[in-house]
Structure 1
Amino acid sequence: MLHRPLARALSALVALAAAAFGAVLVPGTARAAAPVHYAALGDSYSSGVGAGPYDFSGCLRSEKSYAPLWAAANAVDSFRFVACGGAVTDDVLNRQLGALSASTTLVTITIGGNDAGFVDVITSCRFGSTTSCTNAVNEAKAFATGTLPGKLDRTYAAIRDRAPNARLIVLGYPRLFETGSCGVLAMSAHKRTLLNEAADVLATVTAGRAAAAGATFADTRSHFAGHGVCGADPWIRDVTGVIEAYHPNAAGYRDGYLPALTAATR
């Protein structure tokens, strides 16, 4: 029989080891995973515009977007999908925060592109002159560096307030174009380069504000590399998609956005 002082010392060591490793598991059992309550916020790049088919919400939400794909692959405990095509930061603040609560554990979002007017910028470049394209890009870049940071800060802070226990992952936008030969009816390589440079500015600004808010930034540009408009295997729809133009197709959400989110959640 052990002496009492030695027995007490051994008991203390066992208790310390149990605390260090979280718990002593019974053979054949596993520790229950923490519940995942996921809310997907944001604009058309989160709602799944370009992937189709869409629900009847008016927001062009697709089950082929990265958010429902991730939720299905990870068997989440609850999933709120409130991202909406065309959303700006004010729409997130006024219409999407109701999906959040203290029990939310994960929030994802793409936002800021519509605030900076990139739809109009792309339209100017696709159908206008090189000068009008250059001017539109410069205006968008000035907005992205001067005005957008404050809008992003307010949005991320509001998400934090409504979901204080959640991890916030901000996903960026891809470069939309490859700059090689693309046929006589395509945008010039110069215009495509200008638009890709604008996307880089937006990514830099978004990454900086996400970091300032303590969020994780998931950069999608490397995942889409080689798969932009004018690529051999494009994951971005061209202007022929009308409302879906310059959004990812189903492959873009599955093979571009989903891996970016998966890597960010590890």
Structure 2
Amino acid sequence: MYLLGLSALALAAVWLAVRITPLQTVSAGGQTVRVGAASLEWSLSGPGQLDLFGQSIPTRPHFDGPIRPRLELTRIHADAEVARLLRSGDHERLTLEVGRKLAAGWLRYGAWETAVAAGLVLLPLAAWTGLRRMPPGRTVLVLAGGVALVAAINAVGFYLLASDTPQTLREVRSLEDLVGAGPLSPVPRAEGPPLGDVRVVALGDSTAAGTGNGPLPDPTALDKACRRSADSYPLALAGANDWRVLNLACSGATIREGLLGVQILGDQVAPPQLAQAQRATQASVVTVSVGANDVRWADLVRLCAAAPSCDDRASTAFFQNRLTRFALAYRRLLRHLAALPQRPAVLVNEYYDPFGPDVDCLRQEGLTQQKVRVLRSRLAALNAVLRQGAETADFTSVRPDFTGHGLCSAQPYVQGTADRAPLHPTAAGALAIALADQQALPTKAQ
């Protein structure tokens, strides 16, 4: 009976120690990751866990044992050496130490967890032996037995069942190896002379392009294909500061097809926005508006309007899958932005709430208060990823304020369902976003 109780106490101590032991910090390749253990699983094999901007992502490699690694990205910061290696393509040196440091972090965590578990066992055993007024010799034996049992359980969990974990982590050259994406490769600068007089570069989707508002005075074929407007917030921000802006935003752009890769627009091909941005060698500000197309926000709104409810399992699972994929692509974008040689101030714009408290005018479109609450919660989840990612990269996240100017208000900042670009900012909405960006600019960039 005594041995059974001691075993239960030891198992509980290990379970609690895994939950409370501080994760170990590892820095390599311009990133800082905290390494620890995921919550205990009762299966003998399974994936680890990567925490990325609030999203919990299972790793591609599987690990033996109930105690599996958990990695949490806490910082993206390309110092001068990392930026130089990225530009030169020398990825071997950049990633050489990643796996070794991850494995070392895991082993440090295992040692700390064992010590914490031993302490959690010693406290109740010491109290119990004291209450029983055991003689010193027997007290020492009881305490030593508890510590030995905890050490044995941890030896099974960390060193026998999970014996391959350090080696698996040593083979990880980058976080992409954990989740299945390709390694970070540079986006070469687009051909053309440097644009030395450009102060602001705008990257993003139709929100930044100003889609649906007044046309540009002399648009190029690509401007028309991207549906860029004279009433976009990048142009409003530039006008307020007498800056020249390079607005590369394009309707329909995602991170993979638009910002980091080419975007096909009928008979037009938009080069990667980041490639074009690198021509602005003296730019001090980069604004980013991205994410809605990555999670297919417009499709989610249309489906929500047509369906009896918006929070069914299928649509929820679809959104969560798209959000996880976006978080992975967003991390790649942040690393590229952190490596820009001119070190511009980067403003990541969150999305505004287009609905507001009054949605009566949307009932005929199939959107009720309950449905809008679901859509608003999903928009909040997207914004949380944008905000946490920006903070991880030491960038600034900006949340425009459309309070009192939702779709059904007297002076909406959002285009209506019958307008050319429903739910997109009006010219007044673009000004509100530009004002939020202006207020968020660091003093050195103004």
Normalised TM-score (structure 2): 0.48
- C-alpha contact (below 8 Å) 1:42/1:82 kept by paired residues: yes
* Partner of residue 212 from structure 1, selected from 380, 392, 397: 392
The residue aligned with 2:285 is: 106
- C-alpha contact (below 8 Å) 2:345/2:441 kept by paired residues: no
Matched letter for residue 402 of structure 2: F
- Separation of aligned partners in 1, 2:342 and 2:392: 16
Q: How many residues align?
A: 226
Matched letter for residue 199 of structure 1: L
Mapped pair 1:246 → 2:423 = yes
- C-alpha contact (below 8 Å) 2:205/2:250 kept by paired residues: yes
Secondary structure of the structure 1 residue equivalent to 2:212: coil
Mapped pair 1:96 → 2:273 = yes
Matches within 5 A, 1:152-171: 152-171=330-349
The answer to which of 110-119 and 120-129 deviates more is 120-129
Matched letter for residue 383 of structure 2: A
Mapped pair 1:68 → 2:246 = no
Normalised TM-score (structure 1): 0.78
* Partner of residue 130 from structure 1, selected from 304, 309, 312: 309
Going by fraction, where is strand more abundant, 1 or 2? 2
Matched letter for residue 59 of structure 1: C
- C-alpha contact (below 8 Å) 2:234/2:245 kept by paired residues: no
Q: CA deviation at 1:219?
A: 1.1
Q: CA deviation at 1:143?
A: 2.8
- Separation of aligned partners in 2, 1:117 and 1:212: 24
- Separation of aligned partners in 2, 1:113 and 1:201: 11
- C-alpha contact (below 8 Å) 1:121/1:133 kept by paired residues: no
Greater C-alpha Rg = 2
- Separation of aligned partners in 1, 2:412 and 2:354: 9
The residue aligned with 1:225 is: 403
Q: CA deviation at 1:142?
A: 4.4
Q: CA deviation at 1:231?
A: 2.6
Kindly tell me: are residues 141 and 246 of structure 1, through their superposed partners in 2, closer, same or farther at Cα, counting changes over 3 Å?
farther
Matched letter for residue 240 of structure 2: A
Structure number with greater CO (CA < 8 Å, separation at least 6) is 1
Secondary structure of the structure 2 residue equivalent to 1:241: coil
Unaligned runs of 5+ in 1: 1-34
- Separation of aligned partners in 1, 2:357 and 2:320: 20
Task: String of CA shifts for 1:19-75, please: whole Å, max 9, x gaps.
Answer: xxxxxxxxxxxxxxxx87211111111110132225342111112111011111101
- C-alpha contact (below 8 Å) 1:153/1:213 kept by paired residues: no
The residue aligned with 2:369 is: 189
Secondary structure of the structure 2 residue equivalent to 1:109: strand
- Separation of aligned partners in 1, 2:207 and 2:415: 12
The residue aligned with 1:148 is: 326
* Partner of residue 295 from structure 2, selected from 116, 120, 123: 116
